[in-house]
Amino acid sequence: MKKTITLIIYLLVFAQLILAQDTLKRKNQPREYFIKDISDHLNLSLFFLTNKNDFSLSGNKGVKLNFSPNDYGAIGISVRLHWLGLAIGYAPKNLQEKYKGTTTYTNLKLSGYGKKIGVDLYYLDYTGFFIDNSKEVLINYPLRHYIRPDLNTLTIGSNFYFIFNHKKYSYRSTFIQNEIQKHSAGSLILNGSINYFNVRADSSIVPKEIDIMKFSPEAKIKQGDFYNLSIMPGYGHTFVAFQRFFFTVSICAGMNFQQQHYTSEFKNGNQVFNQFEFIPRALGRTGIGYNSNKFFTGLSVVADVYNLPLGKNERIGYSIGSANIYFGYHFNLPKSITKYTDKIKNLPNINFQKSAYKY
């Protein structure tokens, strides 16, 4: 962890030097020199989206249980005009239910991308997991995967960010494509997060088939509530070639204030734990693609990782990430329509995404 934090600090310092060089070279250039606003175009795209909602439990003997839902990537369509965006995805039937079990889930996300300020809201409710590395941790287990149909996770939260150099740097160009970053630029970013994570099951999430010495009683959770508040400064930079091809990387790292309340199984019954933790946290966004006045395509990835320390040497790690591949087109609207739609163009950018909704 210390090496990771040191590396992030070096990256932030190096990125700040890049930003200083950009500022000296192009100090007096207006926003239009760096960014082209095409939000008055109708943005229509097809996408393939995978949501990451797995979690892991690391034991005190180096053993790690990887819990994964049996979900599948959503295929869908996205429509955007000015501030309003709607994305609807369909997820096919669970694959290999015989080996991985059945997962029912609701995955709702709402994002607002402004020039300076943005927000992500999410609600993830998943029931039914399997241990992805069952053969490694369960010796002589007869089945391909250990299935936990009773296991449920609920994740509710929000990320807020502020872009300092918004006159030269656009998050929109990479993640919602209603602007075009014409020249390379970067910015310091301040990110704040609020998050609630709940895990519950009929019994301990640690299988009885695993040696009891590999996990302490504290780690044998059957129900837990974890509340997180994070403050993370960071830096984002978009590299542009030929005013159309782009590569964006954004990293925020800081501290997470965490309140825990969980119940674990002991030999003589259940025991309740209440404790406060102060731990590092990181959030990364990246994207690569092509964006022009007409056609756009690319790949964007969000990696949002949380750690929940348990006892002295054990922890739960979970992520709220996604990967999105998209192909789209910008349509010019006739004046008979734009005279009505232009009235809403000054409102903040909002995107509602309803993906992989199943029961």
Domains and CATH numbers, the chain: 2-354 (2.40.128)
Q: Please write the tens of the pLDDT for every residue from 205-247.
A: 998 888 767 888 888 999 999 999 999 999 999 999 998 999 9
pTM: 0.83
Q: Please write the tens of the pLDDT for every residue from 139-168.
A: 778 888 999 999 999 999 999 999 999 999
d(CA 270, CA 274): 14
d(CA 77, CA 327): 10
Least confident of 106-115, 217-226, 299-308: 106-115
d(CA 26, CA 169): 13
Q: Which residue has the tokens 């209440």?
A: 274
Q: Determine contact, residues 236/249, Cβ cutoff 8 Å.
A: yes
Q: From the centroid of its chain, how far is CA 108?
A: 12
Q: 306 CB contacts (<8 Å, ≥6 apart)?
A: 195, 197, 226, 228, 256, 281, 317, 318, 319, 320
d(CA 297, CA 37): 17
Q: Please write the tens of the pLDDT for every residue from 274-290.
A: 999 999 999 999 999 99
The Cβ of residue 112 has, within 10 Å, a number of other Cβ atoms equal to 19
Q: Determine contact, residues 296/45, Cβ cutoff 8 Å.
A: yes
Classify 349 as helix, strand or coil.
coil
